[in-house]
Structure 1
Amino acid sequence: MLIVDWPRVEAAAPGDREEMLIDAAFGEAYSDDLFEHGWSWPEQPGEDWYGRYALRNTFGSYKPHFWAGHRWDHMRDFVEPKVREALDRFNDALFWHRLEDTTGVGSGLPERPCTWDADLLLWCPPDHVPLIAGWWRQAAPQLEVVREPFTRHAAEPGGWITTFESFADLLTDWGEVVTEAERRSWGVVGLRC
């Protein structure tokens, strides 16, 4: 996952943006350590326009996001309304997308087609980030109330995100990403690997 200085990316020639993002995600700061977790920052002068975050226990795969959405779908009706609302929006904005189609509730963020010539899974401009970070700030202190609904309605031995802890870890990592992006007034992008 990358957070990026949006104007710096948009200042690049349109045909160069995808390579620029790929280099940021998989170049110098990239580690092939599947158990890596946390931030890595470029060390070369002039490359201070991005940060890379390795989400815990994802091993570079998008599957945990799918499974987190699947688990959320099974438990969300049993979560306190205030926490459910914040997590619905947070999850939908970052990795669920189209929650509104099945539940009538979504992030409410305006649809913006990606204008960059790049193969992205996530394209989150800087003006969306404060809203998403705000939803995280609402939900994070109450995340523990999700434990019981997860355990009763969503825990399964198969697939990914099989425990409340793994679900909470994924959300907490996303919270770290959007909080840092908000602090820097940057956007968030996720490349298809």
Structure 2
Amino acid sequence: MGVGIEVLIVDWPRVEAAAPDDREELLFDAAFGEAYSDDLFEHGWSWPAQPGEDWYGRYAFQNTMGSYKPHFWAGHRWDHMREFVAPKLREVLDPFNDALFWHALEDTTGVGSGLPERPCTWDADLLLSCPPDHIPLIAEWWRQAAPQLELLRDPFARSDAGHGGWITTVESFAGFLSDWGQVVTEAECRGWGILGLRC
């Protein structure tokens, strides 16, 4: 299946309180321990039930089967359709997408999230690291974009974005964005950060 991703929201200080050599195992246990399910059609949140383990949540994206490919293809679709999107919506979806799953956006368009580059210093194999102080801004982009997702229908069709790969309909693209919106909103409510573990 290739590269997989497990998306977690985490209490950042709780992870940083662990010894540096223990952090990767801590995150691996969070992703694949009690909250993990091998149901390929799982969708939504999984939370630990053990006392003292309430420092993380795991989110399963709909119709991705744990693969990173839909994240890549969503970015690819956005790259091809964004020029047809109304400027006000593009202004919030550009940085939202760039911050979470389309990190090449700035390379191809000159437009990025503007969030400071702060690579995670934890010794873990990560595809994504969004510390808690980035989350309120990402969540605000989502609040502005969410009511306008229907406006993506025409740009998606005009760009011929649906051919090949994953994310072949505007509904699947909007659903994918909405899943990321769920992750960001929950992380903001808790004051936590977001991690994407490579698996």
TM-score by length of 2: 0.95
Give the match's secondary structure for 1:160.
Answer: coil
Following the alignment from structure 1 to structure 2, what is the Cα–Cα distance between the partners of residues 176 and 185?
Answer: 14
Deviations, residues 64-90 of structure 1 (Å, cap 9, x unaligned): 011011111111000000100100000
Which of 20, 42, 47 is 1:41 aligned to?
Answer: 47
Q: Is the 8 Å Cα contact of residues 55 and 173 (structure 1) preserved in structure 2?
A: yes
Following the alignment from structure 2 to structure 1, what is the Cα–Cα distance between the partners of residues 67 and 172?
Answer: 14
Give the match's secondary structure for 1:111.
Answer: coil
For the pair 1:63 / 2:69, whether they are aligned, the reply is yes
Q: Structure 1, unaligned stretches of length 5 or more? A: none
Q: Is the 8 Å Cα contact of residues 41 and 65 (structure 2) preserved in structure 1?
A: yes
For the pair 1:167 / 2:167, whether they are aligned, the reply is no
Match runs of 1:1-193 below 5 Å: 1-193=7-199
Q: Considering only aligned residues, what root-mean-square deviation do their CA atoms show, in Å?
A: 0.8
Q: Is the 8 Å Cα contact of residues 6 and 126 (structure 1) preserved in structure 2?
A: yes
Following the alignment from structure 2 to structure 1, what is the Cα–Cα distance between the partners of residues 124 and 161?
Answer: 36
Deviations, residues 4-48 of structure 1 (Å, cap 9, x unaligned): 000000000000001100110111110000000000100110000
- 1:113 is displaced (CA, Å) by 1.4
Following the alignment from structure 1 to structure 2, what is the Cα–Cα distance between the partners of residues 175 and 55?
Answer: 11
Give the match's secondary structure for 2:51.
Answer: coil
Q: Structure 2, unaligned stretches of length 5 or more? A: 1-6
- 1:166 is displaced (CA, Å) by 0.6
Q: Percent identity?
A: 82
Displaced runs of 4+ in structure 1, greater than 6 A? none
Partner of 2:3: none
Following the alignment from structure 2 to structure 1, what is the Cα–Cα distance between the partners of residues 160 and 61?
Answer: 21
Q: Is the 8 Å Cα contact of residues 72 and 154 (structure 1) preserved in structure 2?
A: no
- 1:98 is displaced (CA, Å) by 3.0
Q: Is the 8 Å Cα contact of residues 140 and 172 (structure 1) preserved in structure 2?
A: yes
